[in-house]
Amino acid sequence: MHIDVTGQGPDLVLIHGWALQGGVFAPLVQRLADRFTLHCVDLPGHGHSREDSTPLRLPYVVNAIAAATPPAVWCGWSLGGLFALHAAATLPKVRGLAMIAATPRFVRGDDWPHAVEPSVFAQFGQELATDFSGTLDRFLALDVMGSAHAREELRTLRQRLVERGAPTERALHEGLQLLEQADLRGALPTLGKPSLWIAGQRDRLVSPAAMQAAAALAPGAQVLTVAQGGHAPFLGHADEVAQALQHFVAGLSASDRGQ
C-alpha cells in the first residue's frame, strides 16, 4: 500500500474517501507539514495503490496501514473515517481519532435517521457497470453540493480523481459495500481515545446532526461544524480544519506530557 510521508513533528495518518486518493489532502499538507509528520494513504485500488489487491475491508486495510506507520493520530474523511474509527477502537498505537464528514454508520435506519437511504450506494454500484466515469462524476458532485465553494472544490476533486489513475472497479464496489453495511456505533462508548468530529454545515451526504449524534456516544468527544462547509470541508475551509487538527493534536501532546 502506498503512503506518502512528509513533514516533521507528531505523526498524523490521513485516509481519503471513496474513489479519491491521498493527494486530495494537499490543502492540509500545505498547512500542517511544518508541524506534523503526515502519512497520506492511498487505499488499495486507488491512486498509487491501484495494483494493491488487499480487500477493501476494515481489518485488512487497518492492519496494513498500522504495519507501515508509527503510533499516530488517525484522521479519516468520509469512507476513510470507517478505517480510522476501526483502528482507534482496536489498536493501542492509535493515539487519537479525527473524523471529517464521517460517521460510524452511513445509511439510514430506524434508530439512525440522519443518514442516506441504503439505495443510494446500491444505485451507484449498479451504475458503475454502465457508466463508470459518469457515476464517479455524479458522486463528486454530491461531495461538494451545498458548499459555499462548490465549483472550486468540484474542480479540485475531478483533478485528484484522475491524476494518479482512476480507481479500480473492484475497489469502488468494495467501498460502496462497506459504506452500505458498516455500523461501528458499538465501538464508541468504550473508545477510550480522544476524538474530534469535523462536520460541514451544508454536507448533503453526512449531516452535522449525524456527526453530533455519533460524537455524543464517544466520551469526551469534541465537535466542530464548519460554517458553509460541504462534504469536503478541508478543501474550501482548509485553514479552519487545519487549525482544528493542530489544536486537537496539541491537546493530546500536552496530556501525554502531564502523565
The verdict on whether 78 is a catalytic residue reads yes
Catalytic entry in 2, 39, 231, 237: 231
* Domain segments of the chain as ranges: 3-258
Q: Using the 8-state DSSP alphabet, how is residue 107 labeled?
A: B
- Quickly state the pLDDT bin for 5 (edges 50, 70, 90): very high
Residues 6+ apart with CB under 8 A from 56: 43, 44, 45, 171, 174, 175, 178
User: Looking at domain 3-258, what is its CATH homologous superfamily?
Assistant: Alpha/Beta hydrolase fold, catalytic domain (3.40.50.1820)
52-103 per-position pLDDT tens digit? 999 999 999 999 999 999 999 999 999 999 999 999 999 999 999 999 999 9
106-138 per-position pLDDT tens digit? 999 999 998 999 888 888 888 888 888 888 888
Cα 176 to Cα 17, 109, 118, 236, 246, distances in angstroms: 11, 17, 10, 25, 31
Average pLDDT, the chain: 92
Give the per-residue pLDDT at 257.
42
Q: Taking Cα atoms as reference points, which of 163, 162, 158, 143 lies closest to residue 233?
A: 143
Catalytic entry in 78, 147, 195, 207: 78
Give the per-residue pLDDT at 240.
97
Q: Using the 8-state DSSP alphabet, how is residue 22 labeled?
A: G
Residue 241 falls in which region: left (phi positive, over 0), alpha (psi -120 to 50) or beta: alpha
Three-state DSSP state, 94: strand
Q: Which contacts qualify for 87-91: CB closer than 8 Å, 24 or more apart?
A: 87/62, 88/187, 88/191, 88/193, 88/195, 89/184, 89/187, 89/190, 89/191, 90/59, 90/62, 91/62, 91/66
In this predicted structure, the answer to whether residue 214 has a pLDDT above a threshold of 70 is: yes
Give the per-residue pLDDT at 208.
96
Catalytic entry in 11, 42, 52, 203: 203
The verdict on whether 203 is a catalytic residue reads yes
